[in-house]
Structure 1
Amino acid sequence: MERTVLITGCSSGIGRASAEAFLDEEWTVYATARNTADIETLGEREGCRIATLDVTDGDDVERVVDRMLDEEGRIDCLVNNAGYGQLGPVEDVSSDAVREQFDVNVFGPHRLIKAVLPAMRRREDGTIVNVSSVLGRIAVPGTGVYSGSKFAMEGMSDALRNEVREYGIDVALIEPGPVDSMFEDRVESELGGLDRSGAYESFYSLYEDYDAVGGGGVGAIAPEEVAADVVNAASSTEPAARYPVGPIAKAGELGRYLPTWLADGVWSLAKKLG
């Protein structure tokens, strides 16, 4: 029997690369995006079904999950990939923008998890792959809101992993560093839309040019590299709890163990040099 996977955020980047990688491995793929026009070419591939899915819309989530269960009778894997990065100093990000960030990056995956778990429990089998970030493990200035959403995803996944283990369900986190994708375009637009207080211009000088912190530059990885770990996690009988992807993500794992005073000192130095 062919394995089935539901993937969110397939219009570009990691989501699209993951859909392609699962199809190459002959999975039945339900590729979703807010606008199906963005994924029409995926739908032309054998084994791929496409659907409109806005993760902030509970009715959308229920509709797509019900359709998949009706057509396939099972969901072997859920890949929570849809998300974006709201950057900027915490003070400069509006409360509405914080709410939107968490609605997409935290509440959205939670809606999907709640929707697929009953079917996975009945079969006593399934894997949930949550796409996080190195910034879900270590926060840096100017990333407080985005990191907060990814820290939340990490904590929720750690708890969930041990809650569902007895039902034969696995939970894995994918933690990429900077990725060559349209994600960086969204980052630039999010920075440009902030109402700056004028208090943090030194930080903007570091973050306004996203390439300077890895996007598309040194340390950035291809979406296909992340997708390979997504498929590995979904296919493994005993997936790892975490998959750091790329050199910056692996360095970030080590950075977690720095004493706080030393990590703070690094950023103080960076500010002076900037």
Structure 2
Amino acid sequence: MSQKTILITGCSSGIGYDAALGLRDRGWRVFAACRREEDCARLRELGFDAPRIDYQDGASIDAGLAEVLEATGGTLDALFNNGAFASPGLVEDMPTDGLRAIFEANFFGW
């Protein structure tokens, strides 16, 4: 049986990071995507394929997906669309630019 493949977004920390570790430990080939290149580099040091995917940057999404599909021969068994970000504090206290950035990534993001 061939190795299952998954693309997980938002792997720099938290649920995405833990899911990447858990699935890799269960034999999956995990593409652990992050928004920042330094986070991708850290995951590569741990043996992950780690494309940079930023929901606010359509070109990075296209490039990241192309990288994954090239590495897998055009197939992917699963997607865990986990990437998102938040800002601490009350929404009514948040500056408009901060709220726009959150909506761009979490609501309008690809």
Same fold per superposition (TM over 0.5):
yes
Q: Deviations over 1:146-171 (max 9, x none)?
A: xxxxxxxxxxxxxxxxxxxxxxxxxx
Pairwise CA distance, 1:45:
4.6
Q: How many residues end up aligned between the 2 structures?
A: 107
Deviations 1:207-265 (A, max 9, x none): xxxxxxxxxxxxxxxxxxxxxxxxxxxxxxxxxxxxxxxxxxxxxxxxxxxxxxxxxxx
- Percent of aligned pairs with the same residue? 34
Structure with more helix by fraction: 1
Following superposition of structure 1 onto structure 2, how do residues 119-158 of structure 1 map, counting pairs within 5 Å?
Answer: none
| Equivalent in the alignment of 1:69 | 69
Q: Quote how far apart the aligned CAs of 1:21 are.
A: 0.8
2:81 aligned with 1:80: yes
Bigger RCO of structures 1 and 2 (CA < 8 A, at least 6 apart)? 2
* Counterpart residue number, 2:56: 56
Q: Is the 8 A contact 2:8 2:16 kept in 1?
A: yes
User: How many angstroms does 1:26 deviate by?
Assistant: 1.0
Alpha-carbon distance in structure 2 between the residues aligned to 1:4 and 1:106: 26
Q: Which residues of structure 1 form unaligned runs of 5+?
A: 112-274
Query: Which residue matches 2:5?
Result: 4
**Residues 13, 89 of structure 1: alpha-carbon distance in 2 compared, 3 angstrom cutoff:** closer
Kept in 1: contact 2:51–2:67 (CA 8 A): no
SS in 1 for 2:107: helix
Separation in structure 1 between the aligned mates of residue 70 and residue 106 of structure 2, nearest angstrom: 27
Q: CA RMSD of the aligned region, Å? A: 1.9
For residue 41 of structure 1, report the CA deviation from its aligned partner: 4.4
Name the counterpart of 2:94: 93
How far apart in 2 are the matches of 1:89 and 1:58?
Answer: 26
Structure 2 residues without counterparts, runs of 5 or longer: none
CA distance in 2, matches of 1:84, 1:44: 24
Q: 1:19 deviation in Å?
A: 0.8
Alpha carbons of structure 1 residues 89 and 54: separation in structure 2 relative to 1, 3 Å: closer
Using the alignment, how far apart are the partners of 1:94 and 1:26 within structure 2? 44
Give the TM-score, by structure 1 length: 0.36
Matched with 1:220 is: none
